Amino acid sequence: MIESLVKTMSAGTNPLSALLDESGGSALVGHTIHTSYDSTIVMTNDKWREGAGGIPMNSYLLACSADPKDMVGAHPIDRRILLLRVVGRAELATDRDVVRAVMEHFQDNPATKDPAFRMDEPISFSMLQWSGVECKILGTFYLDGSSKLNFGADAEDFFAARHMTVRKPGPEALSTIVNFVDPIRKAKAEKDALALGMKRAPAPFEVGTVRFTSSNQLSLRPGQSSVPVKIFPGDFLARRTAVFGMTRTGKSNTTKTMVSAVALSAFESDSPIGQIILDINGEYSNANNQDAGSSIADVFSDNTVRYRIGAKAGFRDVRVNFYENLEVGHQFIVDNLNSDGAALNDDLKTFASCDLVEPDKSNQSVHGRWKRRVALYRTILAEAGFEYPNGFTIEFEASKAALAKMFDHVIPKDEHAKYTNAEQRTAAVVQHFELTPGGNGYRVSPSCAAKFWSSVRDVERDITGGIQKGKDDKWLNTEDVAMLAVLVGRSSKTDGLIRALNAIKSAASGFHSPSGSFNITREIYDLLSAGRIVIVDLSVGKPSIRETMAERIASGIFSTSSALFTSGQAAPRIVLYVEEAHNLIGKNADLNTTWPRIAKEGAKYGMSLVYATQEPSSIHPNILSNTENFFVTHLNNDDEIRTLSKYYDFEDFAPSLKRCQDVGFARIKTLSSNFTTPTQIMLFDPITVGSKYKNVKASASSWFVPLKTGA
């Protein structure tokens, strides 16, 4: 079957012949003289190399034992092309003779003015032009049963007497090589894209151009066209991507290029893809001189929401309103109380363990106790110095019997005669504390609430058995008493001074804002579900606050997607970008904490993680081992390079990774590619990206609703 299909092809239609076609720029550079399953030595000549524009280190070569113009008539064994990568120079048997001849030439002509060593005797000069190049075999191009070009990541066999002619591929062939996805993998990728909720598979997007070396002179000669490197967007969805490199070598530009590509792909595939950037340095949310005065937020202004710690025009406050979001605010306080290293007294421990989740309203007794607990908690927040909105009041329930018990302790004795019954005495207490009746209880300002609850504590301690609202029915429970102790800063047991309000304020003041969100994680998750780009500017504030806020947001996204998945619902496609990743998923990180869990399990729930760092060795090995995509620029440390060399074929690039510091010069390995490709990442160009964005969103479906302000 294959034979008949191959024979019907002409040289022009045969995909193998096209790779070697001289009219497409392919050029002869040598012949193989020794081949094994994983490497080969190519004998080449200076004249051929010059004609081909040089053979750069790490460049690709094609080796074939068939005549490219007669691939159809070739023996089946010869109908294949080995893809080679140049990894160094190989020694030939004649090299010693060459060295001897060169030495003799300069000894005989010590004042020669011919540094290029062009000997007058042509035969000798021709013999000295031969050299050897060592190549690694990356795989084999061949035709499958449908006569489609296919690629296998190895060499099926080698033959001692079948030496191959080696060619340097031209621009078209090189484009085929670096962007090739075999038909089976391509079909699966398209199927996966549909499974991910896309209405159609997105087209591959360009991330840069092929660049083999830092010294790029020969490839920039007139007539040498650049070759684009394209990536399938599905490689990033529900996958892990690492961006490694030293500062100022293009990590941020690479990330911006990815964000733009995924955003455009969302419209091309007619499916919302949410993206969230935890912006440590503020370079994605704010314009800078590297981006022609524009940022991601400017280019995608009608689909981007920005957050930051603190108020600023165009940003939402990422902090939480502790008075409204009780559980989250309380958790921030508790987490930081526990992490500051100081021992908690018994009353603070009780405060830390109190439950602020609202119970069922049908149980009036339980719900009433919850409201009192919340009133005490909010009063503690106010006294600790957490700012509250203008007009804010605290509500609670208190029985008339309980208020009447306070009469003797708060109303001066010389006024007692004015109040002749329990109802009047209760009214006097209400008036004294400026309590305003409302609903089933009272409403009061935070300052008056502090005055009221401080008095309640004094009365509770003065009355034997405490304040009772009925026979054998105490008004306050043990938890209430402990929270009163925290409010006044005195132990519930000894009445001695305790560490309380100052500890609470110092633990979590940076996480609260009266204008903050009621539920920041839910708010951000809803935006991501709608296909928005969310940028959280974490460039201001204490490092501990920034890390905690980032972890809280990530944890909320992970938990919500996990819950949707386990309940049988489809979770939205979300891409999470994290910088300074070594601080979050370090080698010693507990794999059961938020960041490692996202890296390990997030793919199941439709979450993608893109993490950037200067230190690959600092990332947890389990995370590295499960990372599908790598973008690597310059690394200056042998330890970091050795760590990276353990993965895929990055060992081939170890010397150049350390030596070459060019901005944006990256080595890319993605899920769909069979090998690493050295690439010059394209510069994030807001004008070009903005133009593409304008075109693709014009045909957007109903899922996209433009934002009015971009914030």
Let me know whether 450 and 530 are in one domain.
no
Q: Burial code of 174-213, b = ≥16 C-beta within 10 A, e = fewer?
A: bbbbbbbbbeebeeebbebbeebbbeebbebbebbbbbbb
State the residue range of the domain holding 575.
205-218+227-318+518-693
Tell me if residue 150 falls in helix, strand or coil: strand
DSSP-derived letter for residue 541 is S
Concatenate the DSSP letters of all residues of 642-708 into one string. Answer: HHHHTSTTGGGGHHHHHH---TTEEEEE-TT-SS-EEEEEPP--HHHHHHHHHHHHTT--TT----S
Measured between alpha carbons, how far is 405 from 464 in angstroms, rounded to an integer? 12
Last residue of a domain, one of 511, 539, 566: 511
Tell me, yes or no, whether 684 lies in a domain. yes
Measured between alpha carbons, how far is 301 from 709 in angstroms, rounded to an integer? 7
Let me know whether 537 and 667 are in one domain.
yes
The answer for residues whose C-beta is within 8 angstroms of residue 309's C-beta and 6 or more apart is: 317, 318, 319, 510, 537, 538, 540, 541, 545, 546, 549
Tell me, yes or no, whether 265 lies in a domain. yes
Tokens at 579, concatenated: 């910088």
Task: Convert the pLDDT of each residue in 109-134 to its tens digit.
Answer: 777 766 666 655 555 667 788 999 99
Strands 441-444, 394-396: pairing is antiparallel
Let me know whether 56 and 149 are in one domain.
yes
Element containing residue 264 per DSSP (H, E) = helix 251-268
pLDDT of residue 470: 66
Tell me if residue 63 falls in helix, strand or coil: strand
> What is the dihedral angle through the alpha carbons of 269, 291, 609, 622, rounded to the nearest 10 degrees?
140
Let me know whether 286 and 333 are in one domain.
no
The answer for residues whose C-beta is within 8 angstroms of residue 380's C-beta and 6 or more apart is: 351, 483, 486, 487, 501, 504
Measured between alpha carbons, how far is 667 from 214 in angstroms, rounded to an integer? 12
Tell me, yes or no, whether 157 lies in a domain. yes
pLDDT of residue 611: 93
3 state SS for 154-178: CCCCCCCCCCCEEEECCHHHHHHHH
Measured between alpha carbons, how far is 74 from 80 in angstroms, rounded to an integer? 10
Measured between alpha carbons, how far is 251 from 253 in angstroms, rounded to an integer? 6
Q: Interior CA angle at 92 toward 89 and 96, to 5°? A: 105
Q: Burial code of 326-352, b = ≥16 C-beta within 10 A, e = fewer?
A: bebbbbbbbbbbeeeeeebbebbebbb
**CB distance 424 to 407 below 8 Å:** no
Q: Burial code of 586-623, b = ≥16 C-beta within 10 A, e = fewer?
A: beebeeeebbbbbbbebbebbbbbbbbbbbbbbbbeeb
pLDDT of residue 1: 45
Q: Burial code of 665-693, b = ≥16 C-beta within 10 A, e = fewer?
A: bbbbbbbbbbbbbbbbbbbbbbeebbebb
* Residue at 643: amino acid letter: T
**For the chain, which ranges sit under pLDDT 70?**
1-12, 113-125, 193, 196-197, 219-224, 287-294, 340-341, 470-472, 541, 700-701, 709-711
Let me know whether 585 and 568 are in one domain.
yes
At 132, phi and psi to the nearest 5?
-115, 145
Tell me, yes or no, whether 185 lies in a domain. no
Please name which of 495, 467, 393 lies closest in space to residue 435, comparing C-alpha atoms.
393
Tell me, yes or no, whether 343 lies in a domain. yes
**CB distance 460 to 481 below 8 Å:** yes
Let me know whether 51 and 113 are in one domain.
yes
Let me know whether 569 and 439 are in one domain.
no
Last residue of a domain, one of 511, 533, 565: 511
Residue 214 belongs to domain with CATH number: 3.40.50.300
Number of domains in the chain: 3
pLDDT of residue 591: 82
Let me know whether 467 and 570 are in one domain.
no
Q: How far is CA 151 from CA 70, 86, 469, 591, in A?
A: 21, 19, 83, 37
Tell me, yes or no, whether 707 lies in a domain. no
Let me know whether 350 and 245 are in one domain.
no
Tell me, yes or no, whether 237 lies in a domain. yes
Let me know whether 659 and 681 are in one domain.
yes
Let me know whether 362 and 495 are in one domain.
yes
pLDDT of residue 287: 66
Tell me, yes or no, whether 313 lies in a domain. yes
Element containing residue 438 per DSSP (H, E) = strand 436-438
Let me know whether 590 and 678 are in one domain.
yes
